[in-house]
Amino acid sequence: SAVISQKPSRDICQRGTSLTIQCQVDSQVTMMFWYRQQPGQSLTLIATANQGSEATYESGFVIDKFPISRPNLTFSTLTVSNMSPEDSSIYLCSVELAARRTGELFFGEGSRLTVL
Partner 1 sequence: GENVEQHPSTLSVQEGDSAVIKCTYSDSASNYFPWYKQELGKRPQLIIDIRSNVGEKKDQRIAVTLNKTAKHFSLHITETQPEDSAVYFCAASNNNAGNMLTFGGGTRLMVKP
Binding positions for partner 1, rule: CB under 8 A: 30-31, 33, 41-45, 48, 59, 92, 94, 96, 102-110
Instruction: Work out how close the CB of 60 gets to partner 1 at its nearest, in angstroms, rounded to a whole number.
Output: 11
Q: What is the per-residue DSSP string for the chain?
A: ---EEEE-SEEEE-TT--EEEEEEESS-EEEEEEEEE-TT--EEEEEEEPTTS--EEPTT--TTTS-EEEEETTEEEEEE-S--GGG-EEEEEEEEETTT-SS--EE---EEEEE-
Instruction: Work out how close the CB of 45 gets to partner 1 at its nearest, in angstroms, rounded to a whole number.
Output: 5
**Measured from the CB atom, is 41 or 82 closer to partner 1?**
41
Instruction: Work out how close the CB of 20 gets to partner 1 at its nearest, in angstroms, rounded to a whole number.
Output: 20
**Measured from the CB atom, is 77 or 94 closer to partner 1?**
94
Instruction: Work out how close the CB of 71 gets to partner 1 at its nearest, in angstroms, rounded to a whole number.
Output: 20
**Measured from the CB atom, is 60 or 86 closer to partner 1?**
60
If one counts every other C-beta atom within 10 angstroms of the C-beta of residue 81, the result is: 16
**Measured from the CB atom, is 38 or 82 closer to partner 1?**
38
